Structure 1
Amino acid sequence: MTELEARKAVRAAIGKVAPDVDAEEINDGSRLRQDLELDSLDFLRLVEIIAHDCGLDIPEQDYPAVGTIKGLVGYLAAHG
């Protein structure tokens, strides 16, 4: 998966989990829980949607690495 594909997948998943988040406010440094205000259930749903849509499982031990948009995009690009 290219970085552009990963970025599109992340934006699409966030749109499903938190449709009230303004896409223009999302940047690489955005933290999923703090800046986008995803609670723990929203975060888990985001991971599930990405797993389903991209065919990529993100194990719980990797959650700290995907806590930001940049981390999540990079993870998908590297593992997808």
Structure 2
Amino acid sequence: MAPADIRRVILNILERIAPDEDLSNLDDARPFREQMELDSMDFLDIVMELRKQYRIQIPEADYPQLGTMDSTVAYLTPLLKDVQG
């Protein structure tokens, strides 16, 4: 899956988790939590959604790598390289 496809997947997940958020001006370099009302349970929902949709395990130690869109896409790109977008 290409990075642009991964970004789209993350946006879709964020739209479901936080339907009231305006994601059109999301800054990919800034932490999600600075831009959105996300709590730790919302963050876990993102991780669980990725596990459910793509059967990937994200160790808790790696959660900090999912802080921004840029870092999330960079982290997921090698894990999803064989998945069709």
Partner of 1:23: 23
**How many Å separate the matches in 2 of 1:20 and 1:54?**
25
Which runs of structure 1 show a deviation greater than 3 angstroms over 4 or more consecutive aligned residues?
A: none
TM-score scaled to structure 2, two decimals? Answer: 0.83
TM-score scaled to structure 1, two decimals? Answer: 0.88
**How many Å separate the matches in 2 of 1:55 and 1:9?**
14
Where structure 1 has 5 or more consecutive residues not aligned to the other structure, the ranges are none
Partner of 2:53: 53
**How many Å separate the matches in 2 of 1:53 and 1:20?**
23
Alignment RMSD (CA, Å)? 1.3
Q: What one-letter code is carried by the residue in structure 2 that aligns with 1:10?
A: I
**How many Å separate the matches in 2 of 1:50 and 1:16?**
13
Q: What one-letter code is carried by the residue in structure 1 that aligns with 2:10?
A: V
Q: What one-letter code is carried by the residue in structure 1 that aligns with 2:52?
A: H
Contact 1:33 1:43 in 2 (8 A): no
Q: Once the two structures are superposed, what CA deviation does each residue of 1:6-60 show, in whole Å capped at 9, x if it has no partner?
A: 1111001101111111121212123122221210011001111122122222110
Q: What one-letter code is carried by the residue in structure 1 that aligns with 2:38?
A: L
Partner of 1:74: 74
Partner of 1:65: 65
Aligned residues: 80
Where structure 2 has 5 or more consecutive residues not aligned to the other structure, the ranges are 81-85
* Structure of greater Rg: 2
